[in-house]
Structure 1
């Protein structure tokens, strides 16, 4: 993840695959998704937000327990960052995006993206997190941008 501290309006967090970041009101997050899934968690007042970019919807293998490319690690790291700011993750609200089938000729039935979205949906439900919005599946890339505050994230489809 790259941070740009002099971005107008707050910090800019550019998340790459496996990136996790947390910010305050006015901070901005950006990422590009294909089969990966991004989760955005925010408190109901929209004063704090966190985002992760998940690559693999499976537990991290031995020796990679800190690799946030894996869904369980990414969600755990996001939750830790939120707790450090005094928020209980289960009281947050969520947005999640991505999970495209970028290679339908290779994975015509159970695509990697579908497995990723299923994992995220189940994990958020298990934590009691209310999902406000999602944009999932298809066969396009998505550019995701969000500024911590009252507005929902902006998602733009980018054809292959």
Structure 2
């Protein structure tokens, strides 16, 4: 702990659950577990700030009247963009990594499963927002453990079999 009871710089771990969004600075760790959900990692090119969201639902074609939260893709991206802007980072200048979108029930579903829909929607939304995707690891039939320490290295992904 730093003086005043605050966490020391770069010592925070953010564990994201479905629908969560987090933002950290260099040295902070962002982690999540994915199945059909999709995680987006955004970072400024200098890697001083990073954000992650855990998208549960690709956004519907039309807005629903019911309140929606950051489990929905469009809300999650908007929250991430706002967190970055609060730190002086322009989201369109960030670089993205995208993970998840697995078919968690391959015996029941082929193409068009929820993970596939989540993955396609996320890539299209980032492109429409002008955010460059550096790397993506999408689809398949396994869970993914995703971990990224804000800094120069790429996120680490480990496949976890069903």
Give TM-score scaled by structure 1 length: 0.92
Q: Would you say the 8 A contact 2:9–2:27 is kept in 1?
A: no
What is the match of residue 25 of structure 1? 26
State how far apart, in whole Å, the 2-side matches of 1:110 and 1:91 are.
31
Count of equivalent residues: 155
2:66 aligned counterpart, secondary structure: coil
CA distance in 1, matches of 2:17, 2:43: 20
Offset of residue 6 of structure 1: 5.6
Task: Write the deviation string for residues 48-84 of structure 1: whole angstroms up to 9, x where unpaired.
Answer: 000000000024632323x110001000000000000
Shift of 1:104: 1.7
* Secondary structure, aligned partner of 1:72: helix
Partner in structure 1 of residue 54 of structure 2: 53
Q: Is 2:14 aligned against 1:36?
A: no
| SS of residue matched to 2:147 | strand
- For 1:123, which of 112, 122, 125 is the aligned residue? 125
Distance in 1 of aligned mates of 2:160 and 2:127: 29
C-alpha separation in 2, matches of 1:99 and 1:43: 24
Distance 1:8 1:42, change over 3 A: closer
CA–CA distance in structure 2, aligned partners of residues 8 and 114 of structure 1? 38
- Give yes or no for the alignment of 1:142 onto 2:150: no
* TM-score of the two chains, using structure 2 as the length reference: 0.91
- 1: CA distance between counterparts of 2:102 and 2:72? 17
| Partner Cα distance (1:23, 1:70) in 2 | 21
Aligned to 1:15: 16
RMSD: 1.6
Shift in Å at residue 9 of structure 1? 4.5
Unaligned runs of 5+ in 2: 1-5
Runs of 4+ in 1 over 3 A off after TM superposition: 5-9
